Structure 1
Amino acid sequence: MFNLLSSMSRRQKAYVFLALDLALIPVALLFTYLVQALPMPVWEALRATLTVLPYLLVIAAGLSLWLGLPSIQLIAYERHAIGLTAIYALALVAVSAGLSTFTGIALHLGTHVIFGICYFVFLVASRAVMFQVVTAIYRRAQPRRRVLIYGAGTTGTQLAQALKAHDSIDPVAFVDDNTSLQGVTLLGLPVFQPARIAEIVRERNINRVLLAMPSLSQPKQAQIARRLQQMKLEVQTLPSFAQLIGEEALIDKLTPVAPANFLGRKSADVALGDACESYVGRVVLVSGAGGSIGSELCRQVLSCRPARMVLYELSELALYTVHQELGQLAEGTGIEIVPVLGSVTDPRQVRKVLADHRVQVVLHAAAYKHVPLVEANPLPGLANNVFGTQTLAAEAAVAGVERFILISSDKAVRPANVMGASKRLAELVVQDLATRHPATVFTMVRFGNVLGSSGSVVPLFQDQISRGGPVTVTDPRVRRFFMTIREAVQLVLKAGAEARGGEVFVLDMGQPVPIIRLARQVIESAGYTVRDAENPDGDIEIEIIGLRPGEKLEEELTLSGDLIGTRYQKIFCARESYLSEIEVASVLRGLRQALAASDEEAARALVHRWVEGFSESSAGRKTS
């Protein structure tokens, strides 16, 4: 039967409907005569009617086609179609009465009215029966997807009503958090409590859940969806009203609050001014040019109009992205942008690049900076951060580079992790070269966390919020220094221009910010509320997960605490001790041996010996 139905054209189906409608006319007449008190016997009325029945059928067929009743699909046979059917039945009452009068059949007008009513009821009932039969045939022939509707409110019930007529989806039940709905039956479907989902899924063979709660906040919907997906269920969300009426484009344009808005103080956005003199007309190489800091260095140096910019980057995608951006910014300025794909740990490539392009200024931002990753991979972290700096700095001295500026970190001060230790060793290498190669100005700039950089805390929080939370904080006591990328790079370039050789510059980053307060600000800025003991109905929970390996409660910016002011208000110079040439050589030799032997313990032991204040056991304790 399914094959027959599916093979029929729309016109063929219309002819079937027309034939059925016409066949119901004599049925309606017979029924009318049986229930009515006629002035003649029923058989005489039937015999008299047979003379006019062909005319009635022909006129009825014409009226039906004119009104378009046979062309109305069963699934679309609703209020408008029923109205046309009523007009059709009323017209047949007039036609039947007219033909009876013309042929002299003695029937009361009420008989014709009853005929019209019976015929209307038969037509509507026949469409309803056919719809149920055809639906049953299609459902039996095609696989049905059994779904559970999460939400028994207005949206959920409207969805269930719509799906009841669907060819391949079978709504089985509701679940809802509202206790007043649990246990009742809506549209023939029972409403259960969410705690029974696993049981319902198993007993009723459900494989998909439809979330019909568009008014629920996005984080709560995400939390429910994640819980259901853990049960191996496919989850789909009903669009919100804004999406249904076409406001999706507006919603897509709403972006998370910029990380700089969480700084908690006024950003030090100052023009580079005379600091540009150290970069104008020169060949500037930026290592790690595709990173957050490296790319901003490129943008700001570009505003100083260098003769050429060499973008040195290990990641192909990052290099492509920054090269495309800078190429457009430099268009028409005459500034040459040179992309170089490679590692700063390769001495032959570094030597060739410095010589071929006659580099005059090096801004060294290439480093592995994510503490947990370097802690889990200490040897690659040390190799890249220490030997990458040593290779690039040593070759810069040999090539006669004017300035070499190392981008360092507050984690280099009494580090509790390998990443911080590697940055401190990189500082010691640069300090050593500064004493041995006075022709090149070697300096380093140390600062704390940068808001909005790759892998930093604000984008992480925003990503966790978009997935429904929780927002994870390692410890409620953790505090960090923060700067915007723009102000950090401005101050780095100013410090680099100020340098005379061997300085450790420290940037004024204001007061440290509690991370848990920052988490609350990010949640609230996204338009959600924090779920805690005081507000159990909030949207996003803050989860305390404990300090990670190598993490401290607070960071520092200097070893000695001695800071000397410079002519720039937010740039200070730290007085710090450094290793001798022989000691630095010993460190590098020992580190090479540990790397060659893949000996993590030897590498950690070497770091313990030479990096002041390094103690992995200090992770999780506040430093003083």
Structure 2
Amino acid sequence: MFGLDWLVPLPRWQKRAVSIIVDFFSLIAIALIAVWLRLGNIDLPQQFALSILILPFLALPAFIKLGLYRAVVRYISHRFMFTVFTAVSLSFLIWSTAILMFDLDYPRSALIIAWLMAILYITGSRLVIRWFLLRRSGFKNESDSIVIFGASDAGRQLMNGLVGVAHKKVVAFIDDDKSLYEQKIGAIKVYRREDLEELIQRFKVKEILLASPGMSSKERQAVLTWLTPFPIKVSTLPSMEEIVDGKVSFSDIREVSIEDLLGRDTVPAREKLLSQCITDKTVMVTGGGGSIGSELCRQILKNKPKQLIVYELSEFALYNIEQELEDMTRNLSYSVDLIFFLGDVKNRKKLEEVIIQFSVNTIYHAAAYKHVPLVEHNISEGINNNSFGTMTVAEVAAELKVQNFVLVSTDKAVRPTNFMGASKRLAELSLQALQDEYSNTRFVMVRFGNVLGSSGSVIPLFKQQIANGGPVTVTHKEITRYFMTIPEAASLVIQAGSMGTGGDVFVLDMGEPVKIADLAEKLIKLSGLEVVDSEGHGDIEIQYTGLRPGEKLYEELLIGDNVDGTDHPRIMKAHEDYISYQELKSEFDQLHSDLKNHNYLAVSDKLSKLVSGFKHSSGIVDYIQEK
């Protein structure tokens, strides 16, 4: 097109050289045409020649100085037009001054004609090139129509940021501010929410971008609920604070996250509770490479411990968190000693050596197997790690007078129907029993539900299934779960761990439970797709696969109703029954023997006695059966 294809592969400096050469001769032509238009005669006196020839020599340096050739034509915007006006006006002012000072021949009124023509030429030539490049990349023919929700500064900057992005075309704004209705922002009209359906039909809208970073979580959830019925993809913009700080750019527009769907506003952390067991202390995190353990490490590091010991069984997980924490200390200029141990929480001798050598003050115990079906198939490993492992770490901590011990527990420990949940309740019972025996160590348990994005979490699975074209698999239509983000959970674990006098079971406020099927449906619809209906119409099917071994329809956070509030609005204190340390040790010995012999029916009976509400009804599915 226009024979311009040869320009595209040229290096940037060569393109600039071509632009300068073309502008050189074009300015001469403009000066000639201006005189022709003024005099109405193509036979020009020769005395005009000098005035005409000096124009490009005066104008081009001004163009270069003001950055006219630095702009990437594909992405020019209204700011470039201002640069053109400034550069052309300045260069013509210099040219006019030179003509007047040296008394050169040139019609004075032609100066104005030439100035207007130069602005038109410089602007028009760039826009033609821009149009050619965008058309060449398929922008015009295959662009997706986009609506921006939010006509504030963020929305306007987003619109400007999308200028020139291939296959994206902003066709409308939607805003709740009535004063903006029918107004235009950069030629884009502002509409009401009620107009969205009409906009989708008129412009064939494929995507809506949420550009209201100041919205609260509840407000964002309400907007997403409103958008769910529409067959368009929904994406969101990072907060303006992140953008201004340079942490992200407008190219980092992301898909709607599960956090947006939950509409949960986080409560600001209490700095005193965060630092109480950490600052200037030696802190140890078991399972420090896991989802919760690694986030605990990040937040602990920010609270400036004297030493941070990461204890992890998985070499790969330990390597990853080692690299991340070392980068954090360099970037934040923290002087914290980082120590990384490959180790098993059942290895009493190694635990003793680590705690003694480094004089550990606080332990956050996050090491656990948590995937319910896997533990159902590997009962012995699950109980050995989650229950006996916790007892081992806690006993060593108590014997060596570690000041604080915080257990990361789970809502699955409440009236469990699976071995994983029962093993975590046994871990809680261990700490409660040890508290009666050892007063020098303060044992605290923190119980909460599912965290978003953890290993084995359902949300990444759903997103992957949607990306693959489905089906999305849900175990049961009525299954519900509590959800919380990993950073919020880790922060509340640290804060709860600083509360209480010992033997306390703290329960985190998880908000309202969420139906997994509803979650799957919303994720599909907000991806711009339709759920397959009973007649087979739609894009992504939701398949119900049935409850897995040990899986419950719903989870609970409290065994009984005996619960107290605390000074923190998201942390409650439960009062749970427990048994003595000696009795528990005796039961553990018998349990260990049954596990060794793979006598899982006896294990199940023993757990029914020890764990309140335990009811295992799915049958024994361990891969290794009784000897």
TM-score using structure 1 length: 0.57
Shift of residue 274, structure 1, vs aligned partner: 4.2
Q: Which residue of 1 aligns with 2:365?
A: 364
- CA separation of 1:600 and 1:289: change in aligned 2, threshold 3 A: same
Partner of 2:557 in structure 1? 557
**Superposition map of 1:38-117 within 5 A:** none
Distance 1:310 1:395 in 2: 16
**Superposition deviation, residue 590 in structure 1:** 1.1
Name the residue aligned to 2:16: none
1:446 — aligned with what? 447
Listed as ranges, the matches of 1:257-272 within 5 Å are: 257-272=256-271
In structure 1, distance between residues paired with 2:306 and 2:261: 36
Choose 603-612 or 362-371, whichever is displaced more: 603-612
Give the counterpart letter for 1:300 in structure 2: Q
The corresponding residue for 1:338 is 339
Q: How does 1:358-437 map to 2 (within 5 A)?
A: 358-437=359-438
CA apart distance, 1:452 = 1.1
1:330 and 1:444 mapped to 2: Cα distance? 29
3-state SS, counterpart of residue 260 of structure 1: helix
CA contact (8 A) 1:411 1:556 kept: yes
**Partner amino acid, structure 2, of 1:549:** P
Residue equivalent to 1:329: 328
- 1:73 alignment partner in structure 2: none
Aligned pairs (5 A) from 1:167-206:
none
| In structure 1, distance between residues paired with 2:261 and 2:399 | 44
For 1:377, give the aligned amino acid.
Answer: N
Query: For residue 463 of structure 1, what is the amino acid of its counterpart?
Result: Q
Task: Give the secondary-structure state (helix, strand or coil) at the position aligned to 1:339.
Answer: strand
Residue 295 of structure 1 corresponds to 294
The 2-side partners of 1:521 and 1:351 are apart by 50
Shift of 1:528: 2.0
Corresponding residue for residue 504 of structure 2? 503
C-alpha displacement of 1:533: 2.1
Letter matched to residue 591 of structure 1:
L
Q: Given that residues 481 and 512 in structure 1 are in contact (C-alpha distance below 8 angstroms), is that contact kept between their aligned partners in structure 2?
A: yes
Counterpart-to-counterpart distance in 2, 1:475 and 1:274: 40
> Using a 3 Å threshold, how does the CA distance of structure 1 residues 267 and 476 change in structure 2: closer, same or farther?
farther
Quote the Cα distance in structure 2 between the aligned partners of 1:401 and 1:390.
Answer: 14
- How far residue 525 of structure 1 moved from its aligned partner, in angstroms, is 3.0
Contact 1:445 1:507 in 2 (8 A): yes
Q: Write out per-residue CA displacement over residues 459-490 of structure 1, whole angstroms, 9 at most, x where no aligned residue.
A: 11112112221111111111111111111111
Q: How far off is 1:281 after superposition?
A: 0.3
What's the offset of the Cα at 1:278? 2.0
Aligned mates of 1:285, 1:526 — CA distance in 2: 41
Partners of 1:452 and 1:345 lie apart in 2 by 28
CA pair 465-607 structure 1, distance change in 2 beyond 3 A: same
Hey, what's the Cα distance between the residues in 2 that align with 1:443 and 1:610?
Answer: 20
Aligned residue in 2 for 1:32? none
Q: Could you tell me which amino acid in structure 1 is paired with residue 539 of structure 2?
A: D
Checking the alignment, whether the CA contact within 8 Å between 1:364 and 1:389 is kept in structure 2 is yes
Q: Look up the SS of the partner of 1:592 in the other structure.
A: helix
Deviation per CA, 1:398-421, whole angstroms, max 9, x where unpaired?
A: 111110000000000000000000
Q: Counterpart of 1:279 in 2: which secondary structure?
A: coil
Which runs of 5 or more residues in structure 2 are unaligned?
1-205, 207-248, 620-627
Instruction: Confirm or deny: 8 A CA contact 2:383 2:420 kept in the other structure.
Output: yes
Structure 2 CA distance, aligned partners of 1:561 and 1:363? 27
Question: Residues 416 and 422 of structure 2 are in contact (CA less than 8 Å); yes or no, is this contact kept in structure 1?
Answer: yes
Say if 1:383 and 1:343 are closer, same or farther in 2 by CA, change over 3 A.
same
Question: In the superposition, relative to structure 1, how do residues 597 and 252 fare at CA in structure 2: closer, same or farther (>3 Å)?
Answer: farther
Match of 2:598 in 1: 598
Residues 269 and 486 in structure 1, CA contact (< 8 A), matched pair in contact too:
no
Output one character per residue of 1:14-73: Cα deviation in whole Å (capped at 9) or x when no partner.
xxxxxxxxxxxxxxxxxxxxxxxxxxxxxxxxxxxxxxxxxxxxxxxxxxxxxxxxxxxx
For residue 324 of structure 1, what is the amino acid of its counterpart? Answer: Q
Paired residues of 2:380 and 2:596 also in contact (CA < 8 A): no
- Report 1:522-533 matches (<5 A): 522-533=523-534
Aligned counterpart, 2:490: 489
Do the aligned partners of 1:412 and 1:421 also contact (CA within 8 Å) in 2?
Answer: yes
CA contact (8 A) 2:549 2:618 kept: no
Question: Which residue number in structure 2 is paired with residue 473 of structure 1?
Answer: 474
Give the letter aligned to residue 458 of structure 2. Answer: V
Give TM-score scaled by structure 2 length.
0.57
Q: Is the 8 A contact 1:263 1:484 kept in 2?
A: no
Q: Is the 8 A contact 1:416 1:551 kept in 2?
A: yes
1:583 equivalent in structure 2? 583
**Match of residue 518 from structure 2:** 517
Deviations 1:72-125 (A, max 9, x none): xxxxxxxxxxxxxxxxxxxxxxxxxxxxxxxxxxxxxxxxxxxxxxxxxxxxxx
How far does residue 253 in structure 1 lie from its aligned partner after superposition?
Answer: 6.8
Work out the CA distance in 1 between the residues paired with 2:259 and 2:365: 24
1:305-357 per-position Cα deviation (integer Å, ceiling 9, x unaligned) = 00010001111111000010011111231101111001101111111111111
CA RMSD of aligned residues (A): 2.3
- Deviation of the 1:609 alpha carbon: 2.0
What is aligned with 2:309?
310
CA contact (8 A) 1:269 1:487 kept: no
For 1:526, give the aligned amino acid: S
Consecutive aligned runs of 4 or more in structure 1 exceeding 4 Å deviation: 250-256
Cα contact 1:472–1:543 (8 A) shared by 2: yes
1:347 aligns with 2:348: yes
User: Which residue of the partner structure matches residue 544 of structure 1?
Assistant: 544
Secondary structure of the 2:428 match is helix
1 CA distance for matches of 2:251 and 2:585?
A: 56
Aligned-partner Cα distance in 1 for 2:407–2:289 = 16
Question: Retained in 1: the 8 A contact 2:270–2:495?
Answer: no
Tell me, what secondary structure is at the counterpart of 1:576? coil
Partner amino acid for 1:345?
Answer: K
Contact 2:273 2:494 in 1 (8 A): no
1:278 partner SS = coil
Distance in 2, Cα, partners of 1:434 & 1:493: 19
Query: How far apart, in 1, do the equivalents of 2:608 and 2:324 lie?
Result: 42
Cα deviation, residue 542, structure 1: 0.6
Query: Counterpart of 1:454 in structure 2: which amino acid?
Result: S
Contact 2:403 2:442 (C-alpha < 8 Å) held by counterparts: yes
Matched length: 373
For 1:586 and 1:414, the matched residues in 2 are separated by: 23
User: Take 2:259 and 2:614, find their aligned partners in 1: how far apart are those partners?
Assistant: 32
The aligned residue for residue 276 of structure 1 is: 275
Q: How far apart are residue 255 of structure 1 and its match? A: 5.5
Q: How far apart, in 2, do the equivalents of 1:269 and 1:325 lie? A: 25
Contact kept in structure 1, 2:289 and 2:312, CA below 8 Å: yes
Distance (whole Å) between structure 1 residues aligned to residue 508 and residue 403 of structure 2 = 23
Q: Measure the CA separation in 1 of the matches of 2:372 and 2:464.
A: 19
Q: Give the secondary structure class of the aligned counterpart of 1:483.
A: strand
